[in-house]
Homo-oligomer: A and B are copies of this chain.
């Protein structure tokens, strides 16, 4: 559920919003290795603004068409602020579906693409490339499907690396060691040279919609090949450890770093 003033600013560009409303739901399917099939859209609006609706639908349906997803139901109503609820459905053979609970000690931890770009776009909207990451995320559906039978656990980065990897650790009852310098990040961070912002964006920034997944070390060659085939960076950033569901992040000198916890929608 995306709520104006909370998940996006009043006056947000409607075409990008239509894209993002669907993309974040398809990303959940990607994280389970599912092929998207059907989608439902419930939308609350302060007024029936034809221009807005046309642009929103343009972004929504362009993405739906790209992945062969059919809109099969939904609802429209009036609401004090724009409110969008999307339900996406897909298919994956149960035996190869990816879950949060499958990580095993010794697994490598991988991440697709780059992290921190969307949070950087929120802090610095003037950086067009980062703003695009925030407003028009790309669901990693091809990757998700190809990870069937290859990854042991997966999740998409919606609330930030620390929080989302944390969900895998909790559900799999394992710990993790991540090397901060290995985490792939937007090249603009180098230009900005703000280490605190960079750490917050890379470790705790949400909305990137990349996939974090774990896989046995024997899969390294396969995954490097898959990365080349898809033209999508897949980077090893650490490993799963036996023990408590604790995430340890080491800086360039091998010292544990402090980082912000996951985003809590109901934090006061």
Contact = CB atoms under 8 A, between A and B. Distances in A.
A237 interface: no
B77 A42 contact: no
Contacts of A42: 1, 85, 87
A48 interface: yes
Main SS at interface, chain A:
strand
A3 interface: yes
Q: How large is the interface on A (under 10, 10 to 19, 20 to 34, 35 or more residues)?
A: 20 to 34
Contact of A83 (B76, B83, B87): B83
A78 B3 contact: yes
Interface in A150-198: none
Interface of A: 1, 3, 5-7, 40, 42-45, 47-48, 73, 75-81, 83, 85, 87, 265-266
18 contacts: A1-B42, A1-B43, A1-B77, A1-B85, A3-B44, A3-B77, A3-B80, A3-B83, A6-B78, A7-B77, A42-B87, A44-B83, A77-B265, A78-B265, A78-B266, A79-B83, A80-B81, A85-B85
Pick the 5 closest A-B CB pairs, nearest first: A85-B85, A48-B266, A87-B87, A1-B42, A42-B85
